Structure 1
Amino acid sequence: MPRVLPMRRSLLLSTLTWWGILQESSGQVLRQLVRRTTLDYNVPRLYAHVVVDQQQIYAQVDTGSPELTVIWKDWYEHVTRPGSCTTLQMGCYTCPKGCDSRPTIKITYGFKEVSVFPWQGSVQLGDTVVGKLGFGVIKGQKPPPPSRNAANILGLSPDASKLPSVLTQLYGQSKVSSPTFALYLSRPSAGSFESSGELLLGGGDDTLYVKPLRFVRFSKPADLLIDTGTNFVLVPSKYIDSLLRSIQAEASKTAGRTVKFTFAPASKVYLFDCADAAFLPTITFALGAVGEVQLTMDHAAYYHNLMNQCYIDIVPAEDNDWVLPDKTLYGNYLEFQPQNARLGIAKLK
């Protein structure tokens, strides 16, 4: 899927301390609760509860795409089965007075292409109802469900398609005072991957994090991308073996014995004993021109426990980009300022 928020990076397996300036946020900010949890398809995702034309849906929060898109009930039940929307926890959308589905916009999300038609309606974000907001209604997908799962998407990246982003529209309607947005997730309890937090639209909140807020500028070409629409840490192929060896060595050092990683050819991931999860190290990314800003990734952000089978969520990237997933937010506060081409990073209080 298209991704934004690029930054220069270097990688460290250590704890660093840096100093910098504080960016104060002011003006109107819309606060939307988010939760990383499992709804449909037994895959944990970062969700926001959104009300569209008085219809409740759960949308995946995605910094890697700009659009708000919702599943059209007529289409989904046609390609799956009648009544299937009643069991889809994410929810489906119905045009209150009928739809004009003739216009078509194509959007690529990872390994699927969706066809949407542009629509407008009322959208509630948190406690705020916006009377007129544009979004896309999904009327087709290649490959279709169940080959590829359908999803409602709340995109946050700067506009890069024919559908303006929610934040662009909110800013254009003076519903918020800035194109800035912020995200955070609390640290999950031991052994859990579920976590709650907030999406702040139109600014940030300096009471949430340990000051100072440190900034790193977006860069082109990019070395590192933050994409909350993905579950895996994507690493360039030339680095992945050395990274996994370093993680294994640090885990073994902490455990006082060898922590074994075993490659599973079928799933193409490394398995390990779930009892060793607590020994996995924190990964620290040193960002900026000279590595002056740190972003730490807790071990819970790069492994997964599926029915008591644990595996490392680090896989080869298709290109030379490092891509960090939604779990990067665990214990972190990230403030995205596209208008200033920079990202603020701090530890959550």
Structure 2
Amino acid sequence: MLEFGDGSQSVEVFKHSATVNIGTTNLPNIVFGLICGSLPPPKQKSPNAILGLGVGVNDDYPSLPKQLLVGFLKLIEKNIFALYLKPKSPGSLIRKGELLLGGGDQTLYDGPLEFVPTLSEGPWMVHLRALQPENGEAITVAGSTILDTGSNYIFIPHRKMSETMKSVEDATAEVVGEPFHFEYDRKWGIWKVDCSYREFLPSLYFILSASSDDVVLRITNENYIAETTDHCYLLVMISPVQHWIMPDFMLVGHYLEFHPDDKKVGIGKLQSKGGCVDLNRSLFNPAGSLFNVHR
């Protein structure tokens, strides 16, 4: 039985192999796990499919990049992959981006990449020195965070949640010029906010530690606040574990390049120019040994 990192569900799988299609490329004999049971059951919550890009911890289920490195096809030359998402276009609900397998693309980001070392062989865990809400008090972390592109929420350890929420509230109050507080919904475990205040909430600066200097990942209010028909709420939850978890929307406006063999992650600011496509429409570019699109 495999448990999701946020504790939301667990699944039972069995080993299988088949041809996998990515864009226009057929990948034969790819090994993966098929779900044969889940808690809660599918009628209550449908289990999520996961593309295996993490550092392998089970030799029976090697990551997709590792499988593409071996065999008679040997479709990629390096155990490196990269991801990015562009901000939503005006009037659009869809973020577009790209998944690159087998290497990176220097034309996608400004300046040289800044690398942070990973801390474990399991998830993509790095050292988080602090969180700095714009115009707010910095929250000292001196701990670890997982760069989890499969998560949809910022997960904050319980011991740091009150301090973090207060800093964000104070930063918002500073901008609007009046007291400001979130409303906590105990039923759903979320922090609600009047949508009219959404634009005044601060950007969040996650300060990651590297060998030479800090590396900063900025998440804007457009990306960590969701909107429903009658209210807005923060995409923030109490972490089920002792460390922080940074979610998929950390990719918005950023280019992240993962180097599992060298145990590091490169981070760069995404260039604003150039085309982009939906991740689900990525194509194969044999010349560059990358699963990407021709921009």
TM-score, length-scaled by structure 2: 0.77
**Alignment map for 1:194-343 (pairs within 5 Å):** 194-220=94-120, 223-289=144-210, 292-343=214-265
Measure the CA separation in 1 of the matches of 2:28 and 2:187: 49
| Shift of residue 263, structure 1, vs aligned partner | 1.4
Q: Is the aligned partner of 1:172 residue 2:67?
A: no
- Tell me if the contact between 1:193 and 1:300 (Cα under 8 Å) persists in the aligned partners: no
Measure the CA separation in 2 of the matches of 1:149 and 1:135: 19
One-letter amino acid of the structure 1 residue matched with residue 258 of structure 2:
F
Measure the CA separation in 1 of the matches of 2:34 and 2:241: 31
Say which of 32, 36, 53 aligns to 1:139: 36
Aligned to 1:150: 47
**C-alpha distance 254-192 of structure 1, shift in aligned 2 (>3 A):** farther
Structure 2 unaligned segments of length 5 or more: list them.
127-143, 272-295
| Shift of residue 115, structure 1, vs aligned partner | 2.1
| Shift of residue 192, structure 1, vs aligned partner | 6.3
Aligned to 2:21: 124
Q: Is the aligned partner of 1:107 residue 2:2?
A: yes
Runs of 4+ with >3 A deviation: 189-193, 256-260
| Shift of residue 217, structure 1, vs aligned partner | 0.4
| Shift of residue 151, structure 1, vs aligned partner | 2.4
Bigger mean CA offset, 168-177 vs 257-266: 257-266
Bigger mean CA offset, 336-345 vs 168-177: 168-177
- Tell me if the contact between 1:231 and 1:326 (Cα under 8 Å) persists in the aligned partners: yes
Measure the CA separation in 2 of the matches of 1:311 and 1:210: 32
Bigger mean CA offset, 251-260 vs 153-162: 251-260
**Number of paired residues?**
244
One-letter amino acid of the structure 1 residue matched with residue 94 of structure 2:
E
| Shift of residue 298, structure 1, vs aligned partner | 1.6
Percent of aligned positions that are identical: 33
Measure the CA separation in 1 of the matches of 2:21 and 2:108: 24
Q: Is the aligned partner of 1:186 residue 2:86?
A: yes
**C-alpha distance 321-193 of structure 1, shift in aligned 2 (>3 A):** farther
One-letter amino acid of the structure 1 residue matched with residue 82 of structure 2:
A
**C-alpha distance 304-291 of structure 1, shift in aligned 2 (>3 A):** farther
Aligned to 2:57: 160
**C-alpha distance 252-192 of structure 1, shift in aligned 2 (>3 A):** farther
- Tell me if the contact between 1:177 and 1:202 (Cα under 8 Å) persists in the aligned partners: yes
* Structure 1 residue matching 2:164: 3-state secondary structure: helix
Structure 1 unaligned segments of length 5 or more: list them.
1-105
CA RMSD in angstroms comes to 2.0
- Tell me if the contact between 1:259 and 1:276 (Cα under 8 Å) persists in the aligned partners: no
Measure the CA separation in 1 of the matches of 2:244 and 2:18: 37
Bigger mean CA offset, 141-150 vs 236-245: 141-150
